[in-house]
């Protein structure tokens, strides 16, 4: 009897061990867990930032002489991207035409003397469209006269009015109001604009 009980116990233990080691099967596929997130879709963000421009193109006016006549001639220049009308006029004053460095400026001249200085610009009032240009070395005893002065003022006016906010221009000589000479050689009665120098275009 004791031998029979021992045999039965061994049989029960073996059966339990077999059941513990058996892998259950399913008729349908069962998803396996993903504790580490390895199966999750990944997204890659690519940075495609565009370099910010540091310069922009603007237009200034010089002079071209042909058969004794003088004509305003536009030239494209590179200026700082934040440049306002004063800085553009400063470029006109300080950077002389140079056909060797900038081929499109070959044969051009400027009536603005190298000794002339742009002292500053300001608008007469908000949204007025009237730009006040203060200079030294254009008017008076230390300046230029006649057609040379007219041509220099034409360059300034046409360059300034390339700016959409500028409608016309008044001049100052060292801060004092001064009259401009217009295209026909007459003294202007008040501010001047592009039309006053149309004969040079």
Q: pLDDT tens, 89-103?
A: 999 999 999 999 999
Mean pLDDT across the chain: 85
Give the sign of the dihedral formed by CA 36, CA 37, CA 43, CA 45: negative
pLDDT confidence bin for 5, thresholds 50/70/90: very low
**DSSP-assigned states of every residue in 142-153:** TS--HHHHHHHH
| Stated length of the chain | 201
Q: What pLDDT is stored for residue 145 in this prediction?
A: 94
| Alpha helix stretches (DSSP H) within the chain | 2-20, 85-94, 146-160
Cα–Cα dist 192/153, whole Å: 9
Better pLDDT: 125 or 31: 125
Asked if 194 and 157 count as a contact pair (C-beta separation under 8 A), the reply is yes
pLDDT digits (tens, 9 = 90+) for 22-72: 545 556 655 556 655 555 665 655 656 677 889 999 999 999 999 889 999
**DSSP-assigned states of every residue in 33-68:** P-TT-TTS--------PPPPP-EEEEEEEEEEEETT
pLDDT confidence bin for 127, thresholds 50/70/90: confident
Q: What pLDDT is stored for residue 16 in this prediction?
A: 47
Asked if 192 and 152 count as a contact pair (C-beta separation under 8 A), the reply is no
* Phi, psi for 47 (deg, rounded to 5): -85, 120
Q: What pLDDT is stored for residue 94 in this prediction?
A: 96
Q: What pLDDT is stored for residue 18 in this prediction?
A: 47
Lowest-confidence pick of 45-54, 82-91, 115-124, 192-201:
45-54
Q: What pLDDT is stored for residue 126 in this prediction?
A: 84
Better pLDDT: 167 or 36: 167
Q: What pLDDT is stored for residue 158 in this prediction?
A: 98
Assess whether pLDDT exceeds 90 at residue 175: yes
């Amino acid at each position: 009897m004791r031998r029979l009980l021992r045999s039965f116990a061994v049989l029960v233990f073996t059966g339990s061990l077999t059941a513990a080691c058996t892998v259950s099967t399913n008729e349908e596929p069962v998803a396996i867990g993903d504790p580490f997130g390895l199966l999750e879709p990944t997204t890659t963000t690519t940075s495609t930032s565009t370099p910010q421009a540091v310069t922009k193109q603007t237009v200034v006016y010089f002079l071209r002489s042909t058969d004794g006549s003088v004509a305003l001639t536009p030239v494209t220049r590179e200026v700082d991207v934040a440049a306002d009308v004063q800085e553009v006029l400063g470029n006109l004053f300080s950077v002389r035409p140079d056909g060797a460095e900038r081929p499109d400026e070959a044969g051009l001249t400027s009536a603005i003397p190298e000794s002339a200085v742009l002292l500053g610009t300001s608008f007469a009032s908000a949204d007025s469209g009237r730009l006040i240009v203060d200079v030294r070395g254009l008017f008076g005893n230390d300046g230029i006269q006649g057609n040379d002065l007219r041509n220099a003022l034409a360059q300034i006016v046409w360059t300034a009015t390339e700016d959409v906010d500028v409608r016309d221009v008044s001049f100052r000589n060292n801060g004092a109001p001064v009259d401009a000479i217009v295209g026909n050689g007459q003294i202007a009665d008040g501010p001047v604009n592009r039309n006053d120098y149309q004969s040079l275009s």
